[in-house]
Amino acid sequence: MGPERVNRSSAGRACWPRPAAAALALALACPLAGCGIPREIDPFVIYDEVTGDIDAGRERPPGMDRPYPSLGTVPPRPERPDAKTRAGLTATLEADRARSLQPLAPRDIPAPPAEAEAPGTPPVPAAPPEPPRLAGAVAVPWVLPGGVQALPGAAPGSTAPLPEPGEVPAGPTPDLLAAPPPLPRLQ
């Protein structure tokens, strides 16, 4: 047998023989047959979404048989209410705003009446245990518009300017700023 025939391209370079190229392509494509393609980049799914084939079995949305709406069918602008009604709404909103600036009062929830224990050995409680009683939260002072702060425990409506911050604390000592100790060596 003679030497295997090598195809030459127009530039004179050696090319793969056709059966060898086909075998190489088949060998590279076989492992890819087991791979799954994500839906985001699957060309078949993309084609179905673009052409609308994915919606073929679905019912049409309601209103698709009606003509396109016209801007001439928009209802007219509602009439402005009279000044008395607007003033009432403004007063109500101002009262709500003023009420929102006051801290909420803590609520006392009465304990449910105790029920008798169910019979049995050992006795089974008739109801779950009470939730733990938590301490009341400290009232948080609210900052009013204009940078004025309501003082805790002061009479409602009395305000004082915000306190000035104190001096800056001293920085860390030099021994704390030193390099960390070396890591221990395992021997």
Q: Is the pLDDT reported for residue 6 higher than 60?
A: no
Q: Is the pLDDT reported for residue 89 higher than 80?
A: yes
Is the whole-model pTM more than 0.85? Answer: no
Neighbours of 42 (CB within 10 A): 13
Q: How confident is the model at residue 50 (pLDDT cuts 50, 70, 90)?
A: confident
d(CA 68, CA 56): 23
pLDDT digits (tens, 9 = 90+) for 16-34: 567 777 788 777 776 666 6
Mean pLDDT of 71-90: 89
Alpha helices in the chain (DSSP H): 18-29, 43-51, 83-100, 174-177
Task: Supply the mean pLDDT for the chain.
Answer: 75
d(CA 159, CA 102): 13
What is the enclosing helix (H) or strand (E) of 171?
none
Q: Are 126 and 117 in contact (CB under 8 A)?
A: yes
d(CA 141, CA 158): 12
Mean pLDDT of 30-43: 75
